[in-house]
Amino acid sequence: MNVLLVLAHPERHSLNGALVDIATRELNSLGHDVQLSDLYRMDWKATVDQADFPHETADPLNVAAASARAYKAGQLTDDVKAEQEKLRWADAVIFQFPLWWFSAPAILKGWFERVFSAGFAYGTGKSYGDGCMKGKLAMLSVTIGGTEHDYSARGICGPIDDLLFPLTHGTLFYTGFTTLPSFLVHSADRLEEYGEGFSELVERYRERLYALETTAPIPFRSAASGDYAPRTRELRPGLEDQNASGFRLHLKTTS
């Protein structure tokens, strides 16, 4: 398998950097090929703007439309084209980042804004399970300062899977990725400082990497499943688990 690792952390000598090293080593030993996009080291341009579309003449600028035109005409910038080429190559993508302000670092957010062009990552009439990334695996690997309690079902920060939903569902599943449950490292600051629990963490991550191709994905409902009413795209009544609400509605029940 070809695996792309996308790293978003300013310090290479960090827990996030170590997790990327572990993934590279482990995946190689399993016979997979690995490429790394280390966004900070690449000095990745985080903001999408007019400079992304050097041939675009429409004024005022409409980012989505400009992105679609530039992609179709092969006129995106070289840095974006290189990332799209890596995505074409990849069978699986792992995103490695620290949870900052309850979401991905800006540099990674900007990677999605610039690389996931209309026409390249998603197309008209296709979404939620049926985008251009169909057939590829994706997984988030996230380090989190707070405790597991903080991010549990009743934790003060909100459930971690719900906080990551704009990425797992809105970005990855939307564009067609088979999205695996996120790999989570809680109390990451303590771990970095004292090294406590690090070997257990390595073992836990190795198990996830080993099972990359056999892990059951997050059971999001696809747009084409028939679970949503055609015009409103609202979930049809009665399909959800009892008492489910919010983002949980969009998980297929196992029964």
Largest separation between any pair of C-alpha atoms in the chain = 56
CB of 30 to its own copies, least distance (A): 29
- Taking CB under 8 A as the rule, does residue 13 contact its own copies? yes
Q: Name which of 98, 180, 108, 169 is nearest 139 in CA terms.
A: 180
CB of 13 to its own copies, least distance (A): 4
- Taking CB under 8 A as the rule, does residue 54 contact its own copies? no
CB of 20 to its own copies, least distance (A): 14
Among 64, 124, 135, 255, binds its own copies (CB under 8 A): 64
Segment 188 to 227, residues that bind its own copies, using CB under 8 A: 189, 192, 223
Q: Which of the stretches 12-20, 22-30, 132-140, 178-186 binds its own copies when contact is defined by CB under 8 A?
A: 12-20
Element holding 67 (H helix, E strand): helix 63-72
- Taking CB under 8 A as the rule, does residue 69 contact its own copies? no
Amino acid at 214: T
CB atoms within 10 A of CB 89: 12
Among 125, 135, 153, 255, binds its own copies (CB under 8 A): 153
- Taking CB under 8 A as the rule, does residue 123 contact its own copies? no
3-state class (DSSP) for residue 141: strand
Its sign, for the CA torsion 75, 79, 80, 86, is positive
Between 170 and 217, whose beta carbon lies closer to its own copies?
170
Structure token pair of residue 140: 């988030």
Between 45 and 206, whose beta carbon lies closer to its own copies?
45
3-state class (DSSP) for residue 25: helix
Q: How far is CA 248 from CA 83, 137, 235, in A?
A: 32, 21, 11
Segment 127 to 146, residues that bind its own copies, using CB under 8 A: 128, 145
